[in-house]
Amino acid sequence: MFFFCKMRMKRIGTYLILIVAPCLIVILLWTSQHPPPPPSNDVQLLTQDQLSPNMPPAVSRRSLHLWPPCHRNRSMVNITGFSDLPVRLQNFLSYRHCKHFPLILDLPHKCGVTDGSDIFLLLVIKSQPENYERRQALRATWAEERKHNGAWIRRVFISGTSGANLQKQRMNQLMEVENRNYGDILQWDFEESFLNLTLKQVLFLEWLEDRCPRAHFLLNGDDDIFAHTDNMVEYLQGVNGSLDSDEHLFVGSLMEGTGPVREPNKYFVPVQVQESDTYPAYCSGGGYLLSRHTAKVLFEMSKSVALHPIDDAYMGMCLARAGLKPSSHVGVNPGGLRLPPKVDPYDPCFFKEVLMVHRFQPHQMFVLWDQVHDPRLKC
């Protein structure tokens, strides 16, 4: 029943509630009475007693699901001003050294025996367990797994856990059911929070290196962006032949000359976390495109760059450590488009040319995706 309340609070379109909520409840009731079937070939649910021996050779490389628990750094309380920091930042600092968490939902076959080399664009979408409606909208719109212009587009949602105890269990159950039905969720056993987004990013890079290193390009983004994935494929395919996925590529909405926010809001980064007042250039985390080469470099760098709570700035730090630079693309507007006054903000013509734009409700996503594909659309 708590799903119901959650959705009501979020005021999603009533018809969505009417359609989605009963289905969910039925699914949950059903699964609580029926044990899950054995994992299919495409989706593997990992539990401690269900490990490796009969995993196919292509995926048996490393165990991503068995990490010893990582403990709070107790000496952190002694750093100057620690007790005056908001609890979430105290937690960040105390767990900053933890870069491994067990994988609870894996997709060992996502990239098949080719390690992903047949995947042209892998969509990597940050999504919290409770964002079920957003995932559904994306599965049916821009993140649909398909071939465009001869190039395969595949999708994974990356997630931690939400809530505690019973709520956490139920949310994990939701993710499990979704994974069984769609085969598109990677979930690690760490607590979802804004300040843990960097951790999620790093855990994904580790998974990628192990399970899918040959996928050519990645879109890394939030679950509330509108990404014109057809345009992205065409952009990556280039005018005169495809860009080289074994070369550096990191494009998005470029942020330069910024630094840590020192006011105590959501983005607050105290000097205890970073003393320097500047960040290297980075791309806004709403969405950016990168090549497999750059993803690999970022993972290598992340081993020695201390985690930073702002995930997109952290990517910039890892790039800088490797001597690489992010770049901008005019079609990426994670802050939302700046439209001239008196223009309908949902006019599909504004989206024909873009690669991605931030902040959409699931129902808007459906309409927009349909409209940009309307052959009669005249701009």
Ligand X SMILES: *[C@@H]1O[C@H](CO)[C@@H](O)[C@H](O)[C@H]1NC(C)=O
Least distance CB 358 / ligand X (angstroms): 23
Indicate the SS3 state at residue 89. Answer: helix
How many other CB atoms are found less than 10 A from the CB of residue 328?
16
Least distance CB 334 / ligand X (angstroms): 23
DSSP for residue 195: G
Least distance CB 208 / ligand X (angstroms): 20
Asked if residue 307 lies in contact with residue 193, where contact means CB atoms within 8 angstroms, the answer is: no
- Interhelix angle 132-140/362-372, rounded to 10 degrees, is 10
Asked if residue 232 lies in contact with residue 225, where contact means CB atoms within 8 angstroms, the answer is: no
Nearest to ligand X of 79, 140 (CB atom): 79
What CA–CA distance (Å, rounded) separates 217 from 263? Answer: 36
Nearest to ligand X of 85, 195 (CB atom): 195
β-pair type (151-161, 146-148): antiparallel
Nearest to ligand X of 190, 360 (CB atom): 190
Q: Return all residues near 205 (Cβ < 8 A) that are at least 6 apart.
A: 295, 298, 299, 302
How many other CB atoms are found less than 10 A from the CB of residue 310?
24
Least distance CB 1 / ligand X (angstroms): 26
DSSP for residue 379: -
Nearest to ligand X of 199, 372 (CB atom): 199
Nearest to ligand X of 93, 107 (CB atom): 93
Least distance CB 256 / ligand X (angstroms): 24
Q: Per DSSP, what are the bridge partners of residue 291?
A: 217
**Residue 96 tokens, joined:** 């900053």
Least distance CB 309 / ligand X (angstroms): 7
Least distance CB 27 / ligand X (angstroms): 26
Residue 243 burial class via C-beta count within 10 angstroms: exposed 0-12, middle 13-18, buried 19 and up: middle
**Residue 216 tokens, joined:** 């050519």
What CA–CA distance (Å, rounded) separates 325 from 9? Answer: 42
Least distance CB 200 / ligand X (angstroms): 9
What CA–CA distance (Å, rounded) separates 248 from 125? Answer: 21
Nearest to ligand X of 51, 77 (CB atom): 77
What CA–CA distance (Å, rounded) separates 338 from 268? Answer: 26
Nearest to ligand X of 136, 302 (CB atom): 302
Nearest to ligand X of 119, 203 (CB atom): 203
Binding residues for ligand X, rule: CB under 6 A, are: 73-79, 88, 91-92, 95, 97, 190-191, 193, 195-196, 239-240
